[in-house]
């Protein structure tokens, strides 16, 4: 797809340009000035949502991905630009992932210019207010600091960042590796922008299961876990716990998809409903409407709280700010986390692994060889005379005993609920939240694991040495 702003060509030539550029389809806002031309190929499904003199909104789909692309060529006049901020406000954009790209003809602060006259402070404030209210973020980019130059000579020369790409949190979630490159200026006074929707080259294997702490907030969660957990399993303590966790993992995936699959859409619907009910109350107070407004507000608060808990857990934030919602903060944090990955691994003998699959298989081979390496049998020396007697017989017996339910619960309580879970995806938050349901199997598994026969004999021998007089 290609977008031309202010092409300085007659709209009559648009079909010729489409063939020259080897695109299949094209639209323009010719009824509103013809300053925006959009070309695309048949592989992409494009539907026109709105056209005006300053922007074109398109619903763009390819395969399972779709988003709302808003391509902007803003007026130089501040009062005309105010129409964009109103028409492209978050209240009107819905819940689809949104991208805003083009020439906004305004900067965010004086840092984004060099030379020339200072920009209108009120105009910059209006631009920043629109960005803040829409919770928009700058797309990751590279290239020059300024995207426009007036082409003048000497002290009259001026630069500014008038062109940019903004996106919302839904778009960032859909395309976390989207990237914009500002190319060198040639015949135009603006830098061309090249936007790439990159697939993460380091995504490998199926997504791991992670217990979401926000599930606990749902009123049906405990009953759901109880029903899955109550199914009978025959076997040892560790086998029973692992089997039940495996069944619960599969069931929770489906439950999460069914209950929380359209969280953002549900939040948006509730927000619209609360707003409309408040308008009705402002015009004519009614007891039934007020009760409904309170109910919807409480439900909206619950859904927002669950979403904040989910994002905080994904970002591994152990604290949350009070007051305004933290959605933008969490998404920015998550975006930064996604870039902190191992891209290359080199072994001690100089062998390099450059892909996720190579890194995975290399690590497996290394540890398999290391753990299976045969060692000649050695006589274990008697070191008991070197061990000082520091505990008595009573302590020895107590430490050899099975852990109690209280001790296991206290140990779990000492682990933060958002700490990284084990390979099965269940962290301390799950076991503490569902303690009354899972405590019997947990205690049985821990007792069996903590004191297998061979290890128990060794511990007893060691403790007897420590208690000798």
Enumerate residues 6+ apart whose C-beta is below 8 A from 312.
320, 326, 330, 418
What single-letter DSSP state applies at residue 213? Answer: G
pLDDT tens for 321-374 read: 444 445 555 555 555 555 556 667 887 778 888 777 788 788 888 877 777 766
More confident residue, 310 or 115: 115
First CA to last CA distance, the chain? 84
Query: CA of 217: how far to CAs of 212, 222, 301, 319, in Å?
Result: 10, 9, 12, 18
336-304-172 Cα angle (round to 5): 30
Tokens of 238: 């560790």
Other Cβ atoms closer than 10 A to 162: 21
User: Which range among 15-24, 81-90, 196-205, 223-232 shows the weakest confidence by mean pLDDT?
Assistant: 196-205
Under CATH, what is the fold of the domain 2-197? Answer: Deoxyribonuclease I; Chain A (3.60.10)
Query: CA of 230: how far to CAs of 120, 226, 399, 444, in Å?
Result: 67, 6, 32, 16
Q: Per-residue pLDDT for 452 more than 70?
A: no
Domain ranges, ordered by start, for the chain = 2-197, 213-338, 343-374
pLDDT tens for 261-288 read: 666 566 777 777 888 888 888 888 788 8
pLDDT tens for 45-64 read: 999 998 888 999 999 988 77
Tokens of 22: 């080897």
The pLDDT confidence band at residue 71, using thresholds 50, 70 and 90, is: very high
Average pLDDT for 21-39: 86
Q: Per-residue pLDDT for 1 more than 80?
A: yes
User: Which range among 97-106, 158-167, 401-410 shows the weakest confidence by mean pLDDT?
Assistant: 401-410
Full-model pTM: 0.53
What pLDDT score does 311 carry?
65
DSSP 240-308: HHHHHHHHHHHHHHHHHHHHHTTHHHHHHHHHHHHHHHHHHHHHS--HHHHHHHHHHHHHHHHHHHHHH
Instruction: Give the percent of the chain with pLDDT over 90.
Output: 19
């Amino acid at each position: 797809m290609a977008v031309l702003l202010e092409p300085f060509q007659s709209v009559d030539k648009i079909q010729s340009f489409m063939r020259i550029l080897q695109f299949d389809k094209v639209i323009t806002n010719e009824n509103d000035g013809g300053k925006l031309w959009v070309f695309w190929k048949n592989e992409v499904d494009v539907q026109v949502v709105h056209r005006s003199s300053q922007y074109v909104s398109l619903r763009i789909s390819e395969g399972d991905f779709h988003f709302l692309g808003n391509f902007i060529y803003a007026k130089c006049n501040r009062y005309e630009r105010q129409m964009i901020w109103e028409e492209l406000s978050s209240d009107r954009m819905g819940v689809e992932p949104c991208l805003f790209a083009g020439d906004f003809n305004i900067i965010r602060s004086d840092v984004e210019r060099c030379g020339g006259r200072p920009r209108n402070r009120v105009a910059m404030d209006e631009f920043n207010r629109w960005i803040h209210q829409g919770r928009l973020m700058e797309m990751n980019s590279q290239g020059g600091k300024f995207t426009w130059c007036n082409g003048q000579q000497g002290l009259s020369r001026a630069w500014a960042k008038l062109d940019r790409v903004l996106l919302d949190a839904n778009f960032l979630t859909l395309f976390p590796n989207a990237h914009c490159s500002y190319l060198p200026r040639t015949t135009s006074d603006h830098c061309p922008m090249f936007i790439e929707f990159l697939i993460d080259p380091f995504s490998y294997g199926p997504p791991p299961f992670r217990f979401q702490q926000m599930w606990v907030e749902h009123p049906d969660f405990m009953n759901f876990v109880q029903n899955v957990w109550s199914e009978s399993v025959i076997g040892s303590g560790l086998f029973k716990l692992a089997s039940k966790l495996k069944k619960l993992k599969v069931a929770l995936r489906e439950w999460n998809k069914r209950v929380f699959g359209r969280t953002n859409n549900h939040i948006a619907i509730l927000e619209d409903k609360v707003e409309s009910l408040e308008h009705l109350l402002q015009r004519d107070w009614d007891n039934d409407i007020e009760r409904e407004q309170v109910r919807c507000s409480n439900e909206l608060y619950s859904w927002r709280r669950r979403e904040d808990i989910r994002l905080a857990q994904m970002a591994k934030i152990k604290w949350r700010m009070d007051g305004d919602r933290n959605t933008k903060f969490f998404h920015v944090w998550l975006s930064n986390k996604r870039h902190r990955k191992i891209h290359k691994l080199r072994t001690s003998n100089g062998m390099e692994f450059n892909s996720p699959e190579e890194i995975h298989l290399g690590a497996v081979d290394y540890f398999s060889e290391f753990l299976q390496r045969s060692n000649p049998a050695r006589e274990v020396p008697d070191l008991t005379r070197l061990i000082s007697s520091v505990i008595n017989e009573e302590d020895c017996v107590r430490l050899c005993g099975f852990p109690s339910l209280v001790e296991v619960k206290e140990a779990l309580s000492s682990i933060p609920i958002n700490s990284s879970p084990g390979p099965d995806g269940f962290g301390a938050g799950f076991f503490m939240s569902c303690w009354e349901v899972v405590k019997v199997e947990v205690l049985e598994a821990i007792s069996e694991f903590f004191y297998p026969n061979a290890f128990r004999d060794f511990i007893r021998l060691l403790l007897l040495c420590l208690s000798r007089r």
